[in-house]
Amino acid sequence: MRLFSLLAVLALPAVAGAQKDAVIKSAAAHADANWGTALKIWTWAEPGYQEKKSADALAEVAERAGFQVKRGVAKIPTAFTAEFGSGTPVIGILGEFDALPELSQEAVPFRQPRKDANSYGHACGHHLFGTASLSASIAIAEQIRAGKLKGTVRYYMCPAEEGGAAKVFMTRAGLFDDCDTVLHWHPGARNSAGDASCLARVAVKFRFHGTAAHAAGAPDKGRSALDALVLTMHGVELLREHTPDGTRLHHTVTSGGGAPNVVPEFAEGFFYVRHPKADVVQKLYPRLLKCAQAGALATETKLEVVYLGGTMEILPNDTLARVAKKNLTALNDLKYDETETRFALRLRETFGEKAPPLEEVQQVFDVSGKSSGGSTDVGDVSWVVPVVGFGTACWVPGTPGHSWQAVACGGTTIAKKGMNLAARTLAATAYDLFTDADLRAAARGELTKRLDGRKYTAMLEKDQPPPLDYRDPPKRGSKE
């Protein structure tokens, strides 16, 4: 009996290894189908909170795989959860699928907007993000169905990451409260892993309502909404000098008038304020608001504030990051073929600076202790549940994010390979979490330590609804 028990114990690592391999192979087996779904979403390139076709496509894939799909969660029409299994542990996997404005682009290595398409493009690779995450979820579900794993895998389809912050509203609604851990990833120009953070952020639109008049015949009768916006932006530029290190202030004009001989009665600007710490962002926002109030006061116009909410910085989790990095390093098999190499070399000519070698895709970079330089609503999730993420090379090394070059890469097999690597890495990491209770407990303990008694509070106004129209054209007209 003892000999039998000893042999059984010795066989455990081999059995576990075979089961993990099965999860990884399952994710890889869906590579072609995943690519078909991702290309559809890349082609549709739908704005935040308007991703209806993309949401339907992914929900249908989940339903065909036997997942229980709940649509319209957190009062967001394009958000849904897809769940398979029962009981604990509950492992969540995040997905995204919104595109960015003014970045329409064909899958070619030179600037060429797509014909007969909207102005949006997947310059952040969310068409890959949502698809790979669902593929990994399905791979785990297959093992639960086969009785090899116990627990629940839950896929979250999260709209409007680019400024709409859907995960904040989903977190506020309690959708992550019962999760043991949550996984995510992101497309990029290189493979990366580690306990990295990001910038906290507040987003707001300032709308100014003035009085139209003939700019030459009766300028004294007009009150320029554009002047108010210009003064606001100038105030923000002066504010930069007097903000804490690490602050980032951005703005763009979304509406500024139609004809130079008409005093603009309406103008709108879209503003971000960012910092590595959410509590600093919360202190900076009132100062940003004062710039807009001053612009309105000086021009005798009316200010309308459209507060879109804020996102927290990511609370990194080194316990989980080590596991994700180990899996990503072991599974990384990225290498360009001849066609991909030609595309990459031609695209690099558009960068305007020396790009890293193409062989960089074979490496995994440790980003522990660093910030992504951007913001993400994943941060809010990380304040209520242990979260881990990583990046895979879906773009040519050196490709800047939020660029037409990133959109172009996203429609090629370079992106397909990076997406497949992400799906396999997610599946492998999820498997480790399903089978290792001590790992889950250690991750939870690290989160508790990082919180240091702080409680999560969303940077939202009381009862603030999701800004479902934040990508709509500016609303004109007088503000009474």
**CATH code assigned at 6:** 3.40.630.10
Tell me the residue type at 49. Y
Q: What was the pLDDT predicted at 256?
A: 96
For residues 131-142, give the mean pLDDT.
Answer: 98
Q: In what order do the strands lie in the sheet with 152-158?
A: 68-71, 80-85, 152-158, 90-96, 181-188, 387-393, 191-193, 364-366
Q: What was the pLDDT predicted at 274?
A: 97
**Rounded to the nearest 5°, which phi and psi values hold at 108?**
-130, 155
Clarify whether residues 98 and 74 are in a common domain.
yes
Neighbouring residues of 121: CB distance < 8 A, sequence distance ≥ 6 = 45, 99, 100, 103, 104, 105, 114, 404, 407
Tell me the pLDDT band of 129, cut-offs 50, 70 and 90: very high
Asked if pLDDT for residue 478 goes beyond 50, the answer is: no
pTM of the predicted structure, to 2 decimals: 0.93
Cα 49 from chain centre: 13
Asked if pLDDT for residue 3 goes beyond 50, the answer is: no
For residues 175-194, give the mean pLDDT.
Answer: 98
Domain endpoint, select from 261, 279, 311: 311
DSSP tag of 374: S
Q: What was the pLDDT predicted at 1?
A: 42
Clarify whether residues 174 and 220 are in a common domain.
no
Q: What was the pLDDT predicted at 14?
A: 57
Quick check: is 458 in a domain? no
Q: What was the pLDDT predicted at 122?
A: 98
Take residue 131 and report the two structure tokens written for it.
Answer: 């698809």
Clarify whether residues 187 and 209 are in a common domain.
no
- The H or E element that residue 408 is part of is helix 404-410
Tell me the pLDDT band of 261, cut-offs 50, 70 and 90: very high
| CA count, 13 A, side-chain hemisphere, 430 | 39
Give per-residue pLDDT as tens, 59-93: 999 999 999 999 999 999 999 999 999 999 999 99
Domain range for 219:
200-311
Clarify whether residues 271 and 383 are in a common domain.
no
Q: What was the pLDDT predicted at 116?
A: 81
Domain endpoint, select from 311, 339, 362: 311
Neighbouring residues of 178: CB distance < 8 A, sequence distance ≥ 6 = 90
Asked if pLDDT for residue 21 goes beyond 50, the answer is: yes
Quick check: is 466 in a domain? no
Comparing 13 with 218, the larger pLDDT belongs to 218
**Contact criterion met (CB below 8 Å) for 365 and 192:** yes
Quick check: is 403 in a domain? yes
Tell me the pLDDT band of 16, cut-offs 50, 70 and 90: low
**Contact criterion met (CB below 8 Å) for 428 and 23:** yes
For residues 5-34, give the mean pLDDT.
Answer: 75
**Measured CA angle at 160 (ends 154, 162), to 5 deg:** 120
Tell me the pLDDT band of 480, cut-offs 50, 70 and 90: very low
Give per-residue pLDDT as tens, 265-287: 999 999 999 999 999 999 999 99
Give per-residue pLDDT as tens, 393-425: 999 999 999 999 999 999 999 999 999 999 999
- Sign of the Cα pseudo-torsion (314, 319, 322, 327, in order): negative
Asked if pLDDT for residue 213 goes beyond 90, the answer is: yes
Rg (CA), the chain: 24
Take residue 139 and report the two structure tokens written for it.
Answer: 């791979």
**Contact criterion met (CB below 8 Å) for 413 and 197:** no
Asked if pLDDT for residue 128 goes beyond 50, the answer is: yes
Q: What was the pLDDT predicted at 17?
A: 85
**Contact criterion met (CB below 8 Å) for 182 and 381:** yes
**CATH code assigned at 289:** 3.30.70.360
Look-up of token digits 């909410």? 309
Look-up of token digits 């290792």? 436
DSSP per-residue codes, 266-301: EEEEEEEEEESSHHHHHHHHHHHHHHHHHHHHHHT-
Give per-residue pLDDT as tens, 301-312: 999 999 999 999
Clarify whether residues 18 and 163 are in a common domain.
yes
Clarify whether residues 328 and 415 are in a common domain.
yes
Q: What was the pLDDT predicted at 352?
A: 86
**Contact criterion met (CB below 8 Å) for 136 and 93:** yes
Neighbouring residues of 184: CB distance < 8 A, sequence distance ≥ 6 = 93, 94, 129, 133, 378, 387, 388, 389
Rounded to a whole number of angstroms, the distance between the first and last alpha carbons of the chain is: 85
Domains identified in the chain, total number: 2
Tell me the pLDDT band of 373, cut-offs 50, 70 and 90: confident
Range with top average pLDDT, 9-13, 113-117, 161-165, 470-474: 161-165
Q: What was the pLDDT predicted at 4?
A: 43
Clarify whether residues 155 and 166 are in a common domain.
yes
Asked if pLDDT for residue 477 goes beyond 80, the answer is: no
Strands, E assignment, 150-265: 152-158, 181-188, 191-193, 200-209, 248-255
Clarify whether residues 325 and 446 are in a common domain.
yes
Q: What percent of the chain has pLDDT over 90?
A: 92
Quick check: is 176 in a domain? yes
Q: What was the pLDDT predicted at 15?
A: 55
Clarify whether residues 302 and 324 are in a common domain.
no
Q: Is-cis flag, bond preceding 316, omega within 30? A: no
Clarify whether residues 70 and 155 are in a common domain.
yes
Class of residue 456 by CB neighbours under 10 A (exposed 0-12, middle 13-18, buried 19+): middle
Clarify whether residues 414 and 268 are in a common domain.
no
Q: What was the pLDDT predicted at 476?
A: 66
Clarify whether residues 327 and 305 are in a common domain.
no
| CA count, 13 A, side-chain hemisphere, 308 | 29
Asked if pLDDT for residue 249 goes beyond 70, the answer is: yes
Class of residue 16 by CB neighbours under 10 A (exposed 0-12, middle 13-18, buried 19+): middle
**Measured CA angle at 82 (ends 80, 83), to 5 deg:** 145
For residues 444-459, give the mean pLDDT.
Answer: 97
